[in-house]
Structure 1
Amino acid sequence: MIAATEAPVVRIAPGAVRGFWRGTPGAPGASAAFLGIPFAKAPEGDLRFEAPVAPDPWDDVRDAVEYGATAQRGDSGITLIPEPWVPGESTLNVNVFTPVPGESSASLPVLVYIHGGGYIAGSPASPWYDGRAFNRDGVVTVSLSYRLGFDGFGHIPGAPSNRGVRDWLAALEWVRENIAAFGGDPSRVTIAGQSAGGGAVLTLLGMPVAQHLFHAVWALSGALGDVTPERARTLSARLAGLAEVSPTREGFASLPEDRLRELQERAGSADDGKPLAGVRTLLDEGLPWGPMIDGDLITRSTLESLGAGVGAEKPLVLGATDDEFTMIADGQKGKLRFIPVSLALGRMGLDRPARKAYLAANKAQRSKGTAAMLGRFMTDRLFRTGVVRVAHTRSAADADSPTWAYRFSFRSPTMGWAVHCLDVPFWFDCLEADGVSAIAGDAPPRALAAAVHDAAAAFVRDGDPGWTPWSPDLESVRVFGGDPTVPAVVANGYASVDALV
């Protein structure tokens, strides 16, 4: 047995790293953490807008006991998840959590998690992303960082496109090369993420060049990017105009980091000061910064790629919360209560026949008022219809494609809705972590956390979360935290979005 005071040291391709134990080595629930291990050189100077470059090897044992620098600078305030920022330039890092450091013969399944934040924010240093609970269940867990916003995804003539996507690929290549040293099996890697991270793993699922890097996918509230080339060029030119620089690599490189972040927000915003301003653009065009169809790394939209059968053999679980963005509309309910719900939906671009069918399928939500209905509509357009489209597309491409769908229906006692991010601490089974009570209340249901987390762990280990797979005739959906008088697995579980699909 390893002495409790002995820090774990693991040798990987570039050199040895020293982590730290949580709990007594060998005792139930004990695991080791290795934080801030670089998978690429710092993206600064000449490397700022380059594809990731492998780090230089090191000779001494490198301490890996603190989170590495993050691409996020300051607290963005746009997510409900505590995602700390860490200053520094070396922002391309991985964090590894393992119950068996150094045991290369253990061959445990591996979970790689990609954080969300709308592709402009977020951090892998969140206490919610600690892999302790997955370690307890025999799963080695990795979280990774990537370049954000314009630095990661903006169109720059003369620079590699989709630099943030290339960061994901480089981190996954690092996992493939090094994870065995931490007790993981590189042939049993499940990628997962929430929100933009959920969109990231779906993007990777649809990329032929990424198929060798993972064998299964879990997407929580996936927000697909698929930024068109035309939109990417327009946003880039708009940003250059705001900065009064040439729309070139040299022009953008002349901008200080904080100035570029400020201008990327203005360039991507459609806010005109009206209630819910910019929502229509967001619904119609998606997020401004994110994976771009560049004709090189990504040659077509994710749905088109999945429809062509890419990744069809890989097990996929995907789902969303019932009211991801209702809290946004709820903040405007004082103004929205004077607007008839049908008129409001019309202003959001929903034509009369679809509006009628959609309202009929959502009678319970409609009874809660215009704000609640608009919040459900935004949720459906941005997240829940994506679940159905991806599931249908995979089924059409390959009837045997292993796909499972779910809904997270537990309502936050502090916010009143099954809001965006609420499912994450249940999925990680980290209800005691900092910040959880703000979104899940002082006594979040442990049985629900056990159900969600156990399904995730089973999927990573065995490729099956434990409920009936999706099929075009049944459209089975596992409902977590719903009405206890209704079966946990229901048919046509996303029927309320059919008018929008």
Structure 2
Amino acid sequence: MTQTESRTYIEVDTGAGRVRGAWRDLPGSSARSAAFLGIPFAEPPVGDLRFAAPVPVAPWTGVRDALEHGATAQRGDPGVTLIPEPSVPGASTLNVDVFTPAPGEPDAALPVLVWIHGGGYFAGSPASPWYDGRSFNRDGVVTVTVSYRLGFDGFGWIEDAPSNRGVRDWLLALEWVQANIAGFGGDPGRVTIAGQSAGGGAVLTLLGMERAQHLFHGVWALSGALADIAPDRAERLGRDIASRLGVAPTRAGLSTIPEDAVLAAQRAATDVSGPDAMTRMLDDGLGLGPTIDGDLLPRSTTASLAAGVGADTPLVLGATDDEFSMAVAPAERKLRWVPLRMLLKRVGIRGEQRRAYLAANRDVVARGHAAVLGRVISDRMFRTAVVRIANARGAAPTWAYRTAFRSTVFDAAVHCVDVPFWFDCLDAEQVDPLTGPRPPQALADAMHRDAVAFIRDGEPGWPTWSTSPGTTRVFGGEASTGASPEVVPDGYAEVSSLL
């Protein structure tokens, strides 16, 4: 341990070499946390490795500083996003950040959380201040955040390249955790993987993957967005992007194209606009992401879970009540004049299904047509998936929850609003613009407490869906305090007509 410029440094050995991190004080606690940032788990995916499977990082000599976030696969200014996820320039984008209260103490054997960020599989960054593991460290959990290749580089079809390169990045990062986390005070036999949005889809994808089962022991998916892209659709998109760039859809052809040009072609090829944009988005799903390739992913994730893959692994999954309502809320004045029958027809809900859906969502109907349309989008993209996955798991240990806390900025329980509560980081930057001022600490106490319990013990503290289908913990609710989370017998009854 060394002291330099008022910072106290700590060094830990990894399989590739020694790294230097820094101690930090934990606000409101006598405990401390050490941060090791930007530790590479793979060689930079550039040159001959750009469209290859990840290659474990080569050993280095001496001590490597791990004091700043590593380069991110996300490039440039992402603009205003719900979660602050900065881009960091550089070529070495395959890194982990490790936050630990017990560096260099292999006998500590603390439970481990591995976090995979979201961003639709084409954006996002592990460098968010929200993903700092301070609060989990305070509660005895070692925390690891993972970077991975995004968009076309990570998931695009290329004729002679390995499929699902971003998925392979996740696997290698988890292998790094198994091999190295004991040196940071973690127990490789108690690893929980978690993520939100595309990150939630990532951990569900890994749960349904035979090849990944030995790498983790619990899964928590927040608003999981599965891709499960059909191989023919993936190939069409890959050929489209190559055609736009004027090259063959091969590694040799695409490797000649600068990164910014590939990103521009990717954006153009995946753009969804026009009068039927919403319906196409809901029907077709994401354009880039994990693909059913017959190798890592032989079938859809839900089918794999129904077949029993991952049945021994505890799973917690849930969604916010109004994931994407904010996308249509600004159109309320226009939508109020459009009959609900016509609005719902545009998103594929007609006849008896429409009547059943509106009857089950009377509270949403009372909030206006935009709220109804936003709820339908949220249900079709996220909330029905909770029910389908929980049911597919059968008797496997599965817990479901809902986040009902309504942001005072959006007047809805919108996408990402649960993340700062789950991480117990309400004092982090850019939380208030999402939650509204003075977000309830009691809700953070409740959500974070249950997350820690699950990571530590394999149970979050409420009855399982598997023993009583429909059982759901509701965080937030009308009072929006979260002080006493409620468990209800059928928390997703409102989506039953869409299943």
2:97 counterpart letter in structure 1? N
Hey, what's the Cα distance between the residues in 2 that align with 1:342 and 1:334? Answer: 17
> What corresponds to 1:495 in structure 2?
493
Of residues 213, 236, 239, the one that matches 2:238 is: 236
Distance 1:303 1:66 in 2: 38
Q: Does 1:175 align with 2:177?
A: yes
2:476 to 469, 473, 481: 481
Distance 2:2 2:487 in 1: 45
* 1:410 aligned partner: 405
> How many residues matched?
493
Quote the residue 2:448 is aligned against. Answer: 453
One-letter code of the match for 2:190?
A: R
Q: Offset of 1:487 from its aligned partner?
A: 6.9
Does the CA-based 8 Å contact 1:94-1:143 persist in structure 2?
yes
- Contact 2:391–2:469, Cα closer than 8 Å, also in 1: no
Question: What is the distance in 2 between the residues matched to 1:5 and 1:360?
Answer: 60
Q: Quote how far apart the aligned CAs of 1:78 are.
A: 6.8
TM-score, scaled relative to structure 1: 0.96
Instruction: Please name the residue that 1:124 is paired with.
Output: 126
**Structure 1 residues 301, 6: closer, same or farther in 2, change over 3 A?**
same
Structure 1 range deviating more: 489-498 or 233-242: 233-242
Taking the aligned partners of 1:474 and 1:236, their CA distance within structure 2 comes to 40
Amino acid at match of 2:320: T
CA contact (8 A) 2:98 2:144 kept: yes
Secondary structure at 1:332 match in 2? helix
CA contact (8 A) 1:341 1:369 kept: no
Using the TM superposition, give the Cα deviation of residue 2 of structure 1 relative to its aligned residue in structure 2, in angstroms.
8.8
What code does the residue aligned with 1:50 have? A
Secondary structure in structure 1 of the residue aligned to 2:9? coil
- Cα distance, 1:266 vs. partner? 1.2
Out of 147, 151, 154, the residue aligned to residue 153 of structure 2 is 151
Match of 1:95 in 2: 97
> Partner amino acid for 1:302?
T
> Quick one: distance in 1 between partners of 2:234 and 2:332?
34
**Partner of 2:85 in structure 1?**
83
Question: Structure 1 143/340 Cα, relative in aligned 2: closer, same or farther at 3 Å?
Answer: same
Distance 1:329 1:169 in 2: 37
For 1:19, what is the secondary structure of its paired residue? Answer: strand
Query: 1:247 maps to which residue?
Result: 249
SS of 1:75 mapped into structure 2: coil
Q: Could you say which residue in structure 2 is the equivalent of 1:291?
A: 290
Show CA shifts across 1:308-331 (max 9, x none): 000011110000000000000112
CA shift for structure 1 position 421: 0.4
CA RMSD of aligned residues (A): 1.7
Deviates more, 1:117-126 or 1:16-25: 16-25
Conserved? CA contact 1:202–1:302, under 8 Å: yes
Matched, 1:351 2:350: yes
The residue aligned with 2:22 is 20
Letter paired with 1:479: V
Cα deviations across residues 305-364 of structure 1 (Å, max 9, x unaligned)?
000000011110000000000000112223322221121111111232211111111111
CA distance in 2, matches of 1:76, 1:62: 29
Structure 1 residues 402-411 or 359-368, which shifts more?
A: 359-368
Secondary structure of 2:400 counterpart? strand
Q: Is the 8 A contact 2:78 2:86 kept in 1?
A: no
Deviations 1:56-89 (A, max 9, x none): 1011100000000000002323740000100000
- Provide the C-alpha distance between the structure 2 equivalents of 1:244 and 1:337, rounded to a whole number of angstroms: 46
CA shift for structure 1 position 240: 1.9
Is structure 2 residue 314 aligned with structure 1 residue 319? Answer: no
2:225 to 223, 238, 255: 223
Structure 1 match to 2:54: 52
Asked whether the 8 Å contact 1:78–1:117 carries over to 2, the reply is no
Q: How far did residue 483 of structure 1 move?
A: 2.8
Aligned to 1:279: 278
Could you tell which deviates more after superposition, 72-81 or 207-216?
72-81
Question: Does the 8 Å CA contact 1:99/1:140 hold for their aligned counterparts?
Answer: yes
For the residue of structure 2 that corresponds to 1:264, the secondary structure is helix
How far, CA to CA, are the matches of 1:269 and 1:334 in structure 2? Answer: 26
**Partners of 2:80 and 2:295 in 1: how far apart?**
31
Residue 108 of structure 2 aligns to a residue in which SS? coil
Match among 264, 267, 275 for residue 265 of structure 1: 267
Quote the offset at 1:122 in angstroms.
Answer: 0.2
Per the normalisation by structure 2, the TM-score is 0.96
Note the C-alpha offset of 1:5. 5.4
CA–CA distance in structure 2, aligned partners of residues 242 and 132 of structure 1: 45
The structural deviation recorded for 1:93 is 0.1
Q: Is the 8 A contact 2:149 2:165 kept in 1?
A: yes
Q: Whole-Å Cα distance in 2 between the matches of residues 269 and 2 of structure 1?
A: 51
Q: 5+ unaligned residues in a row in structure 1: which ranges? A: none
Within 2, Cα distance between the matches of 1:83 and 1:101?
Answer: 26
- Structure 2 counterpart of 1:198: 200
- Distance in structure 1 (CA, Å) of the matches to 2:285 and 2:77: 23
Contact preservation (8 Å) 1:79, 1:117: no
Evaluate the alpha carbon distance shift between residue 133 and residue 493 of structure 1 in structure 2; reply closer, same or farther with a 3 A threshold: same
